[in-house]
Structure 1
């Protein structure tokens, strides 16, 4: 892991090295690993703010640094876009006479009107209090700098044109660090101050995830190296990009869905079957059927009457529709609404309730086209009324927008719901008499290992929380969170990816 000489070099051995450069690294053969620093063990708290109020930029120890460049960085306060309450800190190498690894001398610039001053700082506190950490010429002095900055939650800014970043074969470093050329160092402060708070938060989240997953211990570094080599030897079982780089990816504890059951991309010219759970709102159901039948991609409507106390209305009371309508009675032998009924003869299933506020028909078509490009994903459709009401709810629950609306998924998941779920998983549904859609969404996220895709209407219309079954869904979510936190934790990790309806056709 450290810099050194090799006694034997035949060119046939895989070299896992911490200071690979573009001249020594052999792509798809060698492995670039992080330099582990056992002396640095300070990690930031999970409640660290997005903008740290100590230093906006800390320059880690530089070997043979250009004095003009260092001076230019210290005078970054002269730039108009520079935050007024932030400072620039340039660290010196560790003091030879110091008995503590954390004691460093540094140059500090805190005001555009005063010259930089010399000071003694604690190395760990300086990094934890920094937003960006500039690393120039990583080997040999800066080989621990990348590890130290990521351990502190500081966003690395790397100015080394030749260095091969650790595990760059599988990790997407464009989401972890900011790379700049040596010739552009004079623009670095302007570049950093132009980043939005959302972009900075995404960088910080990814830095924390990558460090904790792959860099934090010797064991994790060794296991990651072996995983990369294993992916080369067995490419058919190799991890995907999402598995390596996404904090939201979840390991699948259930049997995977058969890949041959559906093609990678379904035909856009196909159709979908609407599966409606009906209770006792026949008036609302009547209006819903009249509006839903106009959807261009609709093939059939299947209504599951789940209220055993109220008989199914007389056939003469049901509306005449342009698509076939099938009404099925409730059965105690089935797990509620999610069952692979023989009447569902399409791959795509549109699931909703009789009290659901139906979104615009163009939004349903957009969701279906999005599903055709992602047949293994859960597609959620929400309208402005649900979004407007959900804003009053907690941040965690409102992020699950696909739970409180319509969903589109593959028919295979109906078989999985009926066959794979144990009695322990079904128990919360039987206890509450609801929550089927929460459990179904949890199952799809588990099987696919990917978060929800959401098609959302940007138009907001005020609505009472008691309508659109929003109140019952939120009550179900609250009860499930208190009694079965495991399910709600999984659903919270499946964050919705929102996409406007008019951009769906751009998926190719």
Structure 2
């Protein structure tokens, strides 16, 4: 009986084992079929569409709690790729733009009313907004805007930074004209955070907006759409700016150090491989490469065996002295691809040697960086000495000169950096003619080479003749500025002397007397002249009647002989980028009053040539009316004075050269005779007003643009004891005043 029970139990266990084995095989079969189906069919990530719909195309996709960071990163990258196809023709509405290129900045009150903008802008971003608001680009009418700039600070998108602005997706959603980011531009200096510093991680979805971003890589930058932006310090000058350190290319060609670098060394994390390896280049003689681990609060916890030696060597060298006394400056990547060292090296005239693979250099769309920097490969560090030693002395001169041109024309102020960004966007618009690389990469640069002039008149710019191997035109247009309703004796005499010049093309009287806005020809002293009126009594109006490059600006009571006019024009032909004229004034700094003062005293030095009797290139009319800040023009209009001072400031600012005085004439007007009103020059109120204007101009330019000179040009054989028949300009020496 007992044997029978044991048999039944064993049989039961046998059947149970078979059943378990069968179910196990069935489970494996289902898993195999599921895996096979997964491999053959399309791969799909988990759906989080409910979370995505909440942000409605603005804001960064939220991170669901149910998946890890790696899954989130892959999802985020996939989401960002939907924007990678943006180009100007697909994500930018060019129909909103015209030749004036207006920029709209969202009113701060619009956001403040929603309680979203309490102390949410850094000082640096506020400076950028102020520059735009005071510029010629700005419009307060959004219907006229080509580009929109948000008032939300997007410069620093590192969540660990105190300047990091939170809840940007919600704030972007409140913008009335956001439209998915179309025609918007987002400025950014820092993105990502420790430890990975993801380049695309701005913390919000930018939509169709153009990114003007620092430290961009070539692979992530949308070509012809995004703009590589320079990385600059918070204390970077708003306006004015410092000049480059290289005053002239003098010998010796090479400086004390061949190659130098001083900066942080990252013991671990992104960027550490490059910074940790560059010490191999240091030889303590002509190559100085010093780094320090001493940065951050917990640097001692992560220090390695080299830190003590590195820190000690680091203290022996002054950074500014290395910059000024080195031929080449190493610019390795930091945590991000960009580095402050780049602009610092440009200013110092120290040729940058770049160790930052895949970095899209600032404004690389228009700037030819091969003329200013040396590229090296992070992976081939030991080739750096061979690369820099192979640079010829001729190339070294050219590279150093180009660093100064680029620094001073595009990078030494925040204003220039912002304006270059706008000009690049303008360059892409189909209705405007693109400026070539020569204009962008030579002094004075594209910021002062406006489309409205180069695209329509086809004249040479005043500072480009030497580049093109051409000479200025052989004729000039005399523009007489008149505030009188009748043509008096002095004007008749001036017209006769002008008519006798063999270089005269046309005489235009720019009349302040309204005549219904009409213009026409009249005869004065037997000469047919064009009367232009209805322009608001503005001296430097871009008149369509002017068909010559040279303009002789005159007051209607000027007394000049034909010889003086001809000689001054010949001088201008040699210096077409400058103002060339007769009456001169100067400025000086008064430390007691802590201000700039204006002087009309007759001295050897001068910085202003009054445009009541002066030659200049007509392109400066275009710059004056369309390029200068509206605040500068407003200062002139409110004072009804100082136009000539502002024009001198403009020309000196653009060319960095002083004007040129010709002839010994001290006075160029006969005052208070023949019924003429007394000149205001001796009026104390008029004089003080000009001093006020001068200081206002300095404040708006950000520095004193005027330059002193002691040069006066006179004809050959001027007052020499030779026969008068041998002198070309026989009447100039007879002038007594």
Residue 366 of structure 2: which of 160, 163, 170 is its match? 170
Q: Is the contact made by 2:241 and 2:413 (CA closer than 8 Å) also made in structure 1?
A: no
Distance 1:20 1:460 in 2: 54
CA distance in 2, matches of 1:248, 1:400: 26
Indicate if the aligned counterparts of 1:271 and 1:298 stay in contact, CA closer than 8 A: yes
**Are positions 1:126 and 2:324 aligned together?**
no
1:70 to 268, 282, 299: 282
SS in structure 1 opposite 2:277?
coil
- Corresponding residue number in structure 2 for 1:382: 580
1:18 Cα deviation after fit: 3.2
Displacement of 1:396 in angstroms is 9.7
Structure exhibiting the larger radius of gyration computed from Cα positions: 2
8 Å Cα contact 2:607/2:706 also seen in 1: yes
| Structure 2 counterparts to residues 9-158 of structure 1, below 5 A | 13=85, 18=215, 20=217, 24=219, 28-29=223-224, 31=226, 33=228, 58-60=260-262, 62=275, 64-65=277-278, 67=280, 69-71=281-283, 74-76=284-286, 89-92=288-291, 94-95=293-294, 99=298, 118-120=313-315, 126=319, 130-131=323-324, 136=330, 138-139=332-333, 141=334, 143=336, 146-150=339-343, 157-158=351-352
Equivalent-residue separation in structure 2 for 1:425 and 1:212 (angstroms)? 22
Deviation of 1:90 after TM superposition, in Å, equals 2.3
Query: Residues 186 and 42 from structure 1, CA distance in 2 versus in 1: closer, same or farther, beyond 3 angstroms?
Result: farther
- Unmatched 5+ stretches in structure 2: 1-72, 87-199, 201-212, 247-255, 264-274, 377-383, 461-471, 514-522, 590-595, 599-605, 672-678, 714-737
Matched with 2:725 is none
Give the corresponding residue for 1:324. 528
TM score, norm. by length of structure 1? 0.50
SS at match of 1:20: coil
| Distance change (3 Å), C-alpha of 1:63 and 1:486 | same
Asked if 1 retains the 8 angstrom alpha-carbon contact of 2:444 and 2:654, the reply is no
Q: What SS class does the counterpart of residue 313 from structure 2 fall into?
A: strand
Could you tell me how far 1:154 is from its partner in structure 2?
5.3
Question: Residue 486 and residue 194 in structure 1: after superposition, are their counterparts in 2 closer, same or farther (change >3 A)?
Answer: same
How far 1:392 sits from its partner (Å)? 7.3
- Alpha-carbon shift at residue 246 of structure 1 (Å): 6.9
Matched, 1:428 2:634: no
**Any idea what the Cα deviations from partners look like across 1:172-226, whole Å, max 9, x if unmatched?**
6479x54366434247898999799998865654575266765xxxxx89x95x9
Distance change (3 Å), C-alpha of 1:100 and 1:42: farther
Partners of 1:270 and 1:305 lie apart in 2 by 23
For residues 202 and 268 of structure 1, do their structure 2 counterparts lie closer, same or farther at Cα, with a shift above 3 Å needed?
Answer: closer
Cα 1:159–1:381 change in 2 (3 A) is closer
What is the deviation of 1:126? Answer: 3.0
Query: How big is each residue's C-alpha offset from its partner over 1:285-338, in whole Å with a ceiling of 9 and x where there is no partner?
Result: 67754542233342454668999xxxxxxxxxx9966x436899xx9x996685
Q: Residue by residue, what CA displacement relative to the aligned partner does 1:439-481 show, whole Å, maximum 9, x if unpaired?
A: 7x59x979xxx95899966x86555478799994998675234
Residue 217 of structure 1: aligned partner: none
Q: Distance in 1 between matches of 2:607 and 2:658?
A: 13
Q: Residue 277 of structure 1 contacts residue 337 of structure 1 at CA under 8 Å; is this kept in 2?
A: no
> CA-to-partner distance for each residue in 1:356-397, whole Å, 9 max, x for gaps?
6575526537869999xxxxxxx76414x55xx556767997
Specify the alignment match of 2:689 in structure 1. Answer: 479
Q: 1:159 to 1:462 in 2, by over 3 A?
A: same
CA distance in 2, matches of 1:213, 1:100: 37
Whole-angstrom CA distance in 2 between matches of 1:410 and 1:356: 26
Give the corresponding residue for 1:236: 431
Q: What residue number does 1:272 align with?
A: 477
| Alignment size in residue pairs | 411
Provide the rounded CA distance (Å) in 2 between the counterparts of 1:259 and 1:248: 11
Partner residue in 2 for 1:296: 502
Query: Which whole-Å CA distance do the structure 2 matches of 1:248 and 1:326 have between them?
Result: 34
**Counterpart Cα distance in 1 of 2:574 and 2:535:** 30
Change (3 A) 1:456 1:233: closer
Deviation at 1:75, TM superposition (A): 2.2
Q: 1:199 to 1:247 in 2, by over 3 A?
A: closer
